[in-house]
């Protein structure tokens, strides 16, 4: 599977599970495993949670 940002090859372990975060080794983009059916994996852009500093 390739990165949606820079098209680099993403290495997804066979034992990866839904909800796990995969990072691109080239650009650092984070993707979350949305679905996994057998060896077919669907990724979505991982949400970044900003700090609210108690606001």
pLDDT band of residue 54 (cuts 50, 70, 90) is low
Total Cβ atoms within 10 A of residue 17: 8
Q: How far is CA 16 from the centre of its chain?
A: 11
Task: Output the pLDDT for position 2.
Answer: 92
Write out the DSSP string of 3-53. -TTT-PBP---TT--TT-EEE-TTT--EEEEEEEETTEEEEEEPPPPPP-T
pTM for the model stands at 0.76
pLDDT tens, position by position, 4-52: 999 999 989 888 999 999 999 999 999 999 999 888 899 999 987 666 6
**CATH assignment of 1-48?**
2.20.28
């Amino acid at each position: 599977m390739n990165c949606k940002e820079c098209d680099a090859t993403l290495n997804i372990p066979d034992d990866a599970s839904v909800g796990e975060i995969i990072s691109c080794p080239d650009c650092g983009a984070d993707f979350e495993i949305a679905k996994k059916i057998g060896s077919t994996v669907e990724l979505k852009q991982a949400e970044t949670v900003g700090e609210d500093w108690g606001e």
